[in-house]
Amino acid sequence: MVGIPSRHRSLFLLGGVIVLQVLLLAVQIKRDSQGRLIRVWTVGAVSPFERAGAHGIGSIRNAWNHYFALQNTSRENEELRRENDALKLQITQLQSKAAEADRLAALLKFRQTNVDVPMVSARVIGCCVDSASQTIDLDRGERDGIRRNMGVITPDGVVGKVIEAYQDTAQVLLLTDKDSGVGAMLADSGIQKPVGGTGESLLVMKYVPNEDDVSTGQRVVTSGMDRIFPRDLPVGTIAEIKAGNTFKQIRVRPAANLERLQEVFVLLTLKPLEIKQDSRAPASQAATPGAPASAANNPAAAEKP
Amino acid sequence: MNINDTFDIRSGEMHIEVHKFRAGAIFLAAGLALVLQAFLPVYLPKAAILDLPLLITIYFGLSRRNPSTGLLLGMVIGILQDSLSGPTVPLGLYGIAKTFIGYLASSIGARLDTEHPAARFALTIIFFGAHQGLIVLTERLLLSQPEPWFTIHLGIAALINAVVAVFLFMLLDRLRKS
């Protein structure tokens, strides 16, 4: 044997002969689950290389696809971006429709609760909210029975009153306008004081003496004394209280979301009305000890102006 | 020390003579051992305890003192024994064991005096044990057959084979060329 020292030849020969006989054995031996031993060994010997090869080819293919073969990627990115924008727009539209459906459901429920109250629903088609005046425009007018000084509400609470009625549209002065006002009272104590706008997002409750017990969070409802709004419509909740010289400075957060009005109800009468409140009204209101019976809770106790 | 051995005074090493055998003696002895191994137990079941092919492998390995020819002889005898052992013994089981024994016997024979009966007796016991160990190792590793490493029966078989080997080897010494 060339290249092998003579003293090691027999050792190499021994190794070769043994390997041959082991292979001979492996060809004959059959394992129940895995077949012939030679096959098991062959697969075991080859599979690491196969795995390594597959991994290597996969890596090369991956690198090629992600780093070199990018001629269509820019176009695809652009298409995907456009598609993404379209889908975002679609989602926004769907969310808007879902919100609108919720609003309309609330309106319908309110309308069904007060089916005997003459009112018409109107959509807000414009607004001119500025520091000088806060008004909105409705898509209903005199043709629909709307007249000046009619009250405008939502299921959440008072919105304002009609200041101009045209043939097909009407203009509404929001409660937050500094010239606006509503006869109100504290739901808990029954203290009746006017609430007016300041031109800002919060209203003010006027003429409440410093001695009167008023706390933040108290509900303010209509008193019916202005002969525009019926009793017990939500006006808002007390947000801030400061002591003044004679009267408290009370700021009220409007119950209706006056900054995002979309649909409203116009009360089609100038006569006093009785509004049935939704069952969503807080239970604490009805359960408050010492509170005067309201028209909603006890219609018989409602004061007829 | 055998009369045929020489001693080198300068290196202090013993040079052991390589024995030559008459033409065909090895093949004849191996063939006869295989035939007897297959034939004898039929009529004399207790003879199955003997491993005549192993004894032949040991003897010619020790005498020829060439590891290459020793392992090749062991391989051939072992594979032939596998062939004669029936379908339950796969080809290579005895072949691997006797290849190793042939190699070991030749290697040891080239370094030790193996002509004395006591040495032959002891070496046969050792080789018999090694042979059996290789078979069990192969069975455990490749055939998944957990055979025991040692039993009393194997110990007795080793002794009997060693005794037989002493006389058999003397008989086989007559086949040497003078």
Report ipTM for this prediction: 0.76
Cβ separation A25–B91 shorter than 8 A = yes
- Looking at the complex, report in whole angstroms how far the Cα of residue A45 sits from the nearest Cα belonging to chain B: 16
Between B123 and B64, where is the model more confident? Answer: B123
DSSP annotation of A218 reads -
Per-residue model confidence (pLDDT) at position A295: 33
B10: which DSSP letter? T
Q: Using one digit for the tens of pLDDT, what is the confidence trace for B40-58?
A: 887 888 888 999 999 999 9
**Cα separation of A124 and A107, whole Å?**
14
Residue with tokens 């597959």: A54
Question: Contacts of residue A18 in chain B, CB cutoff 8 Å?
Answer: 96, 99-100
Contact B99 A10 (CB under 8 A): no
pLDDT, mean of each 10-residue run, chain A (305 residues): 66 89 83 70 78 87 81 85 92 88 81 79 79 83 91 91 91 90 89 90 90 89 86 90 88 90 86 57 35 34 32
pLDDT in tens, B13-39: 455 667 778 778 888 999 999 888 887
Who among B68, B72, B142 is closest to A25 (CB)?
A: B142
3-class SS at B33? Answer: helix
Task: Give residue A305's pLDDT.
Answer: 30
Evaluate whether A137 touches A126 at the Cβ level (below 8 Å): yes
Query: pLDDT at position A276, please?
Result: 61
Q: What residues of B are in contact with residue A24 (Cβ under 8 Å)?
A: 90-92, 95
At residue B161, the pLDDT reads 95
B131 within a domain of the structure (yes/no): yes
Please say whether the beta carbons of B67 and B107 come within 8 A: yes
Judged against a pLDDT cut of 80, whether residue B59 lies above it is answered with yes
The pLDDT of residue A274 is 62
Q: Which of A25, A32, A37, A41 to mutate to test the interface with B (most CBs of B within 10 A)?
A: A25
pLDDT higher for B165 or B147? Answer: B165
Give the domain range for residue B119: 6-173
**Cα distance between residue A220 and residue A17, in whole Å:** 105
Chain A residue with CA closest to B69: the answer is: A10
- CA distance between the termini of chain A: 128
Chains A, B: CB pairs < 8 Å: 56
Domain count, chain B: 1
Q: Is the Cβ pair A21, B75 closer than 8 Å?
A: yes
Please name the residues between 110 and 169 in chain B that touch chain A, using a CB distance below 8 Å.
Answer: 138, 142-144
Q: A14, B100: Cβ pair inside 8 Å?
A: yes
Query: Does residue B150 belong to any structural domain of this protein?
Result: yes
A4 touches chain B (CB under 8 A): no
Task: Calculate how close chain A gets to B43, using CA atoms only, in Å.
Answer: 31
pLDDT for res A289: 34
Contacts of A29 in chain B (CB under 8 A): 90, 142-143
Greatest CA span in chain A, whole angstroms? 130
Residue from B107, B135, B137, B142 whose CB has the most chain A CBs within 10 Å, to mutate = B142
Q: Please give the helix or strand (H or E) that residue B111 lies within, else none.
A: none
Q: What percent of chain B has pLDDT over 70?
A: 89
Cβ–Cβ of A22/B90 closer than 8 Å?
no
> Looking at the domain assignment, is residue B1 inside a domain?
no
- Residue B10: per-residue pLDDT: 36
What Rg value do the Cα atoms of chain A yield, rounded? 41
Question: How far apart, in Å, are the Cα atoms of A215 and each of A224, A250, A278, B29, B120?
Answer: 22, 9, 24, 123, 118
Of B66, B68, B96, the CB nearest to A22: B96
In chain B the beta strands, taken as DSSP E runs, fall at 6-7, 14-15
CA distance B36 to B80: 13
Report strand pairing: A263-267 vs B6-7. unpaired
B40 part of a folded domain: yes
Chain A stretch 36-55, residues whose beta carbon is closer than 8 A to a beta carbon of chain B: 37
Q: How far is B54 from B168, CA to CA, in rounded Å?
A: 12
Euclidean distance between the first and the last CA atom of chain B, given in angstroms as a whole number:
17
Is the overall model pTM greater than 0.90, yes or no? no
Q: Is residue B178 part of a domain?
A: no
Question: How far A35 CA sits from the closest chain B CA (Å)?
Answer: 13
What is the pLDDT at residue A280? 44
Look at residue B129 in the predicted model and tell me its pLDDT: 95
Question: Which of B68, B73, B88, B104 is the best substitution to test chain A (most A C-beta atoms within 10 A)?
Answer: B68
Q: CB distance from B4 to chain A under 8 Å?
A: no
CB–CB contact B103 A24 (8 Å): no
Q: How confident is the model at residue B108 (pLDDT cuts 50, 70, 90)?
A: confident
Task: Name the H helices within chain A.
Answer: 6-28, 37-63, 73-113, 283-287
In angstroms, the CA A163 to CA B88 distance is 112
Burial label for B107, CB within 10 Å (0-12, 13-18, 19+), is buried
